[in-house]
Structure 1
Amino acid sequence: MRLFKSLIPAAALTALAAFPALAHAEGGVIRHGEGKFPISTAVEVPAGATTIYLSGMGAPVQDKTAPPKSLEAYGDTRAQTLASLQRIEGELKKLNLTMGDVVQMHIYMVADPRTKQLDFDGMMKAYTQYFGTEKQPNLPVRSAFAVAQLANPGWLIEIEVTAVRAPKK
């Protein structure tokens, strides 16, 4: 953010933060958005906030009758994304946090071996069940990467997140 602030005058940043279509603040965290795509373009975290880094998580086995570490055991990209986000939600809950506290997300994706294509649409269908909803409008900054493979050969997706706990007042 230091570089961002050095390129844009403070008055302009203040104006952006005050414009509701471009910025949303909750718990001191300011999320800047652009357009209708359900990710933030920038997130400002207040001084004194605690940063929590969650390790990358893939989906747990969905079909225990399928061969271990197979695509059939874990499901398609949409199912795996949904299951991974459910795991992340559970880990955050143990820390007294929610998906609304997520400020950054990295999604590592492998092409489905059946289609030889990334299923970005399937990932987005699951992602938008958790982010940008009426119930949970907070959007993280996010990157999605195509990778050659993941540690588990049955995984099509692995997600890591960074969350923040707002400073105590």
Structure 2
Amino acid sequence: MTLKAKHLFLLFILTVFTSCQTAHKDDDNEHSTEEVTRFEREGSSILKGVKVPAGKSIYFASGIVANPKDETKPEGDRERFGNTYEQSVSTLKRIADYLSEEGLGLEDVVAMKVYVAPDPENDNKPDFDGWFKAYAEFFATEENPNKVARSTIGVFTLVNPNMFIEIEVRAVYK
């Protein structure tokens, strides 16, 4: 292949690549005005699912746990972090703070994974009711009518044995 042929071939490849990128960008702009679709589960505080249209940016939060309820209590003391309900409330407040740093709120959350560990004061079983009570204070309320696609999973333990809940969230930028 001559030098001129190589240059023409590279110019052709660059033109095709640029055209594909422009077409893709136009497709993204076309979809970015679409709204998130939430598929209701009648009679439930959670959704069946969520559709996030192309072109929307998504915030993925790592697993988040509670802040200490009482920092004067030593490590290993149950009262340092509290029970499942108290930890759930603290964790959801912490999530709200993280989201606000990104210009988001709990109303922008579309999906949630919740890990609930056994509580020795709940017959060594996960306190799902404590978690459900806290969730009901933050979602599907008058202040925040948002429901999310959610999985709640009972686990053997979390890294810290005095932690009973860890939550991951996905939120969509408007």
TM-score normalised according to structure 1 size: 0.79
C-alpha contact (below 8 Å) 1:41/1:141 kept by paired residues: yes
Superposed CA deviations along residues 17-47 of structure 1, whole A, max 9, x for unmatched, are xxxxxxxxxx701111122221010101111
Q: Which structure 2 residues correspond to residues 40-79 of structure 1 after superposition, within 5 A?
A: 40-79=47-86
Question: 1:78: how far off?
Answer: 0.5
For structure 1, the 5+ residue unaligned runs are 1-26
Greater helix content: 2
CA distance in 1, matches of 2:73, 2:52: 43
C-alpha root-mean-square deviation of aligned residues, in Å? 1.2
SS in structure 1 opposite 2:137? coil
Question: 1:118: how far off?
Answer: 1.5
Greater strand content: 1
Question: 1:71: how far off?
Answer: 2.2
Runs of 4+ in 1 over 6 A off after TM superposition: none
Q: How many residues align?
A: 140
For structure 2, the 5+ residue unaligned runs are 1-33
Tell which structure's C-alpha radius of gyration is larger: 2
Q: Does 1:158 align with 2:162?
A: no
Q: Percent same amino acid among aligned pairs?
A: 39
- Pick which of 95-104 and 67-76 moved more: 67-76
SS in structure 1 opposite 2:60? strand
- Pick which of 108-117 and 92-101 moved more: 108-117
Superposed CA deviations along residues 63-88 of structure 1, whole A, max 9, x for unmatched, are 12222143221001100000000000
Q: Using a 3 Å threshold, how does the CA distance of structure 1 residues 97 and 69 change in structure 2: closer, same or farther?
A: farther
TM-score normalised according to structure 2 size: 0.77
